[in-house]
Structure 1
Amino acid sequence: MVDEISPAAVEELLDGEDPPLVVDVSTEAEFALGHVPGSINVPLSDLVSHLDRVAGAERIVTVCPRGEASVQAVRLLSAYEGTENARIESMAGGLDAWDGPLEEGTDEGGRDDGRR
């Protein structure tokens, strides 16, 4: 069973003093259209090869458009030795359920060549 967190709880955490690392596992094109503010984009298909981007985080929330791929991401991240001490959750319902603000464009570490 994968832990899930409500979009409202994610928004509250992001407004707090110790926000989680939000990892959006959408494609780069989907991410550019709109994502949770401050999130990073690591497409699910690239997650295993970019685990270093999440290593050491204490709390990770995975996000995708509908909340399905983010569940798979939680399973992958939970098996990685760099996240063994992290609390890892999927945002229930994905961006479809998110009522908060959205940012557009790529994250700071993003590339425009289609690779991550």
Structure 2
Amino acid sequence: MIIYKNQITNEELEQKLNEQNVVILDVRETEEYALEHIPGSVLIPLGQLEERCNELSKDSEIYIICRSGGRSNEACHILQANGFTQVFNVLPGMINWHGAIDSDF
């Protein structure tokens, strides 16, 4: 696996949550997202990202998160290959997220 060049920590992401034109993209599965997710984040499971990347704006900064960084790393490469330039992998991901969370339960 090739590590994506643009990385950001969970703590750095927390500081960006209130900025405009920032998208938090969660690429975990629907069930994982339902248990806990960052408020305002967008869910597109990794397996659907290639076909659904047109739902995202290439003008936005996109911060991609998963459980521990593997799927989000892959998602960064997918978006980059589709012309997105402001893409960041959030590490270590939800496994160590201490910020606000929502749940669908």
TM-score normalised by length of structure 1: 0.81
Deviation at 1:71, TM superposition (A): 0.4
CA distance in 2, matches of 1:21, 1:61: 6
Q: What is the aligned length?
A: 102
Matched residue, 2:81: 79
Between the two proteins, what is the percent identity of the paired residues? 25
Question: Is 2:8 aligned against 1:15?
Answer: no
Q: Residues 25 and 69 of structure 1 are in contact (CA less than 8 Å); yes or no, is this contact kept in structure 2? A: yes
The reply on whether 1:64 has 2:73 as its aligned counterpart is no
Verify the 8 A CA contact 2:69 2:89 in the aligned structure 1.
yes
Conserved? CA contact 1:59–1:87, under 8 Å: yes
Equivalent residue letter for 1:101: A
In structure 1, what residue type is equivalent to 2:42?
Answer: I
Alignment of 1:100 with 2:99, yes or no, is yes
1:62-116 deviation per Cα after TM superposition (whole angstroms, max 9, x unaligned): 00011110000000000103x2xx31001011101211011112xxxxxxxxxxx
TM-score of the superposed pair, with normalisation by structure 2: 0.89
Matched ranges for 1:1-40 at <5 A: 1-2=3-4, 3-16=6-19, 18=20, 20-40=22-42
Across the aligned residues of Structure 1 and Structure 2, the Cα RMSD in angstroms comes to 1.6
Q: Which ranges of 4 or more aligned residues in structure 1 deviate by more than 6 Å?
A: none
Q: Tell me by how many angstroms 1:56 deviates.
A: 2.8
CA distance in 2, matches of 1:80, 1:50: 11
Counterparts of 1:27 and 1:98 in 2: how far apart (Å)? Answer: 17
1:67 and 1:103 mapped to 2: Cα distance?
20
User: Where in structure 2 are there 5+ consecutive unaligned residues?
Assistant: none
